[in-house]
Amino acid sequence: MATDLLAVDRLNVFYGDSHVLHDVSWRLQTGRLLALLGRNGAGKSTTIHTIVGFLPARSGAVRLDGLDIHNTAPELISRAGVGLVPQGRRIFGSLTVRENLDVAARRAAPGGGRVWTREDVNHLFPRLGERQHQVASSLSGGELQMLAIGRALMTSPRLLLLDEPSEGLAPQIVREVQQVLQDLKQQVSIVLVEQNLGLAMTLADDVVLLDTGRVVFAGTREAFSERSEELQVHLGVH
């Protein structure tokens, strides 16, 4: 029976006096990919930043495999098995591809899971293997996104959070990223924040839809598809 790897429970988050997440609750089961959807400003990245410890929660809980991690230091959350691929990639441009990967490497995986090596990442992204000694600032946008994903995998996560991985990429590169995520679904649980609805719905097992910091839908991809017409208003697409 599938278990909840990640539970977000009645999360309330503020920016100063502004209440930006309102009682946000949803679950991610082990071995599934959840698409976190919503228009710009809906609270998607805020939710991700709260999960990884970049933002404090005023109330509520974030549980990883039953352990409450909300308001814990980001480095401890990472060590617990949460990997982040941030929006904008945020690669160390002055380091080589190899150095970017090595700086994130772990000798042991949290929870006894898979330990990812540089060779594993290069197998997943052969282009990175060809560019091991190039400085990251010389890479294309698609290669930078591959490196960002690879760097997160080097932390040997059991949960991978991806914030807008297709942003700014050419359609061919988006298709490559889609195939990689399809393969990764078999190896790690994933939360995918994505504006590209076609990409998200191709990959998702489950969907959470946010609007102005509130959950307006949480359920399976099939249930979301059945209600897609009425839910379009919360996506800002037609």
pLDDT at 229: 86
- Report the pLDDT averaged over residues 19-28: 97
Handedness of CA 204, 210, 213, 218 (dihedral sign): negative
pLDDT at position 25 is 98
Q: Give the pairing type, strands 67-68 and 59-64.
A: antiparallel
Indicate the residue type of 213: G
Answer for the pair 145, 88: CB distance below 8 angstroms, yes or no: no
pLDDT over threshold 90, residue 2: no
234 vs 192, which has greater pLDDT? 192
Res. 18 pLDDT band, cuts 50 70 90 = very high
Contact present, 169 and 139 (Cβ < 8 Å)? no
pLDDT digits (tens, 9 = 90+) for 80-118: 999 999 987 788 888 999 999 999 998 877 776 789 999
Alpha carbon distances (Å) from 82 to 72, 74, 85, 143, 176 = 12, 9, 10, 23, 23
pLDDT tens readout for residues 141-181:
889 999 999 999 999 999 999 999 988 888 988 998 899 99
Q: How far is CA 175 from CA 1, 139, 165, 169, in A?
A: 32, 18, 11, 10
Tell me how far apart the alpha carbons of residues 117 and 154 are, in angstroms, rounded to a whole number: 6
Domains in the chain (CATH in brackets) are 4-88+157-234 (3.40.50.300)
Query: What span, in angstroms and rounded, lies between the C-alpha atoms of 207 and 231?
Result: 12
- How deeply is 31 buried, as exposed, middle or buried, from its count of CB atoms within 10 A (0-12, 13-18, 19+)? middle
Contact in structure between 160 and 132 (CB atoms under 8 Å) = no
CB 90 within 8 A of CB 49: no
Predicted confidence at residue 112, as pLDDT, reads: 67
Closest CA to 69 of 85, 83, 52: 52
pLDDT (tens digit, 9 = 90+) per residue, 52-85?
999 999 999 999 999 999 889 999 999 999 999 9
Q: Is the pLDDT of residue 238 over 50?
A: no
CA distances from residue 137 to 52, 85, 89, 238 in whole angstroms, order as listed: 26, 17, 12, 37
| Local confidence band at 236 (pLDDT 50, 70, 90 cut-offs) | low
Beta-ladder partners of 27: 7
Sequence-ordered alpha helix ranges (H) in the chain: 44-51, 74-79, 97-102, 118-124, 126-130, 141-153, 171-184, 197-203, 221-226, 228-231
**pLDDT one-digit tens code per residue, 200-229:** 999 999 999 999 999 999 999 999 999 988
Q: Is the pLDDT of residue 237 over 70?
A: no
Give bridge partners of residue 29 from the DSSP assignment: 4
